[in-house]
């Protein structure tokens, strides 16, 4: 449930993605502090950590999409035989152009 962690102003922040994870984290925060004092990672040997805090973020995860973009092909079921009764002239011309495209593809 930990998304990432960072150090700011001598405080180690853990960013979590679920409130239940934060609650569990808060229950074990003293154990984490004592473990860091006992066995500090080599990367943090010169860094002073006075406090540890955690918070929940609600930003969605960005997933990498490896799906290839494929043009969807399907059989057109419409024949283009429908009436256009739209008062807005721009929308009316748009729907009529779509109708002509459908008729062209159908024939």
- Does residue 35 have a pLDDT over 60? yes
Beta bridge partners of 12: 7, 52
Residue 1 confidence class, pLDDT cut points 50, 70, 90: confident
Q: Is residue 13 within 8 Å of residue 54, measured between CB atoms?
A: yes
Cβ-based neighbours of 22, under 8 Å, separated by 6 or more: 16, 54, 55, 56
What would the pLDDT profile of 17-31 be if each residue is shown by its tens digit?
Answer: 888 888 988 888 888
pTM for this model (two decimals): 0.51
> Could you tell me the pLDDT band of residue 87, with boundaries at 50, 70 and 90?
very high
pLDDT tens figures, 59-70: 776 665 565 666
* pLDDT band, very low/low/confident/very high, at 33 (cuts 50, 70, 90): confident
């Amino acid at each position: 449930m930990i998304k990432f962690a960072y150090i700011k102003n001598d405080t180690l922040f853990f960013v979590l993605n679920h409130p239940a994870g934060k609650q569990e984290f808060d229950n074990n925060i003293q154990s984490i502090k004592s473990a860091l004092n006992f066995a500090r990672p080599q990367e943090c040997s010169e860094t002073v950590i006075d406090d540890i805090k955690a918070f929940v973020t609600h930003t969605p995860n960005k997933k990498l999409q490896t799906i290839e973009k494929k043009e969807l092909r399907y059989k057109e079921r419409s024949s283009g035989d429908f009436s256009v009764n739209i008062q807005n002239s721009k929308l009316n011309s748009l729907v009529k152009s779509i109708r002509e495209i459908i008729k062209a593809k159908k024939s």
